[in-house]
Amino acid sequence: MAESVTVADLVKNTRLEVYHGADLLEKKDITTSDISRPGLALTGYFNYYPRERVQLLGKTETAYSKNMSHDERLMIFRKMCQLTTPAFVISTGLPVPKELVQAGEENGVPILGTKMTSSRILSNMTNYLEGKLAERQSVHGVLVDIYGLGVLITGDSGVGKSETALELVKRGHRLIADDRVDVYQQDEQTLVGEAPAILNHLLEIRGIGIIDVMNLFGAGAVRQDTDIDLIVHLENWTPDKQFDRLGNGEQNRKFFDVEVPEISIPVKTGRNLAIIIEAAAMNFRAESMGYDATKVFDDNLNKLIKTNSVHDSHK
């Protein structure tokens, strides 16, 4: 988990414009994903003022400030521009009050702006900061984008995860992370996986070593991150181990507060794991769209039993 994000990172990743204080962007840290709409602060209520948050001013806040005198605005903005305040953001292309510029310069607070509406830039900044500041969990496995689905391949060391990922890349799918996947919860239903910076685009193949997937297969063979939709666990096949044959043994694995469907696939000589995982991803997508092959089989079986029972009763 990153403890902070610089205002420079926020500007770069949410398409903000720098109005004042460009030299401060690398020095100002953001430690929370919460964004403040300081309407109460403008009225003079500072009993609870979240000074550590990015302060967003929209049409309502700027319209209210216009009814204040110059001295009142300067006094309020000086109180709002604390040393720990990361930045002010003015939305909807609104003009920046000159008193805010003065207060920002006095206390070292940059002033940013955007033509986006308050709700849009609020959503963009929150999503970015939540992703960067979220708690992370490191998982041993390989993460691949297969037909737009994030598939996390897990299993014991040496079971063939990286080799399978290489075959999937050759089949046109995209690698996100090999060996170690950093996982974080984006919201109540979404789990996101990405590669640690040191392992970006790299794949380890026993006997060959480290290969750069982007360099060998092009930029279309990699992704920076993806939602994790399905977990495929590879297990070495043994005669005494029972594996699901009909697809009705549902399992889930929980990360933080999100449960992700998980299936186990036996690894045995002669099995093409890449094609099997590819088929598992397509089958999962079909099920999410309402088609259940197992249910179709059960219905067909029940019809056959019913037909045979009627036939037997007429003998």
> Is 136 known to be catalytic?
no
**Residue 270, annotated as binding a ligand:** no
Catalytic member of 115, 120, 140, 170: 140
Q: Which residues make Cβ contacts (< 8 Å) with residue 54, sequence separation at least 6? A: 10, 30, 35, 36, 86, 87, 88, 89, 125
Backbone angles phi, psi at 195, to 5 degrees: -90, 145
Q: Is 218 annotated as a binding residue?
A: no
Tokens of 21: 């204080």
CA nearest neighbour of 256 among 136, 126, 150: 136
Which residue among the candidates 161, 173, 174, 201 is catalytic per the annotation?
A: 161
Does 262 appear as a known binding residue? no
Q: Check the annotation: does 204 bind a ligand.
A: yes
3-state secondary structure of 289: coil
247 labeled binding residue: no
Cα dihedral 122, 126, 128, 129 sign? positive
* Helices assigned H by DSSP within the chain: 7-14, 39-42, 59-66, 70-80, 98-107, 118-133, 161-170, 213-217, 273-288, 293-313
The single residue of 66, 245, 311, 315 carrying the catalytic annotation is: 245
- What amino acid occupies position 312? D
| Residue 161 known to bind ligand | yes
Does the annotation mark 140 as catalytic? yes
Does residue 161 carry a catalytic annotation?
yes
Whether 295 is catalytic is no
Q: Is 108 annotated as a binding residue?
A: no
User: Does residue 36 have a known ligand-binding role?
Assistant: no
User: Exposed (0-12), middle (13-18) or buried (19+): which is 193, by Cβ within 10 Å?
Assistant: buried
Which among 179, 180, 253, 292 is annotated as catalytic?
Answer: 179
Residue 157 annotated as binding site = yes
Could you list the residues known to form a binding site for ATP, using ranges: 155-162
Catalytic residues: 140, 161, 179, 245
Binding residues, as ranges, are: 155-162, 204
Binding residues for Mg(2+): 162, 204
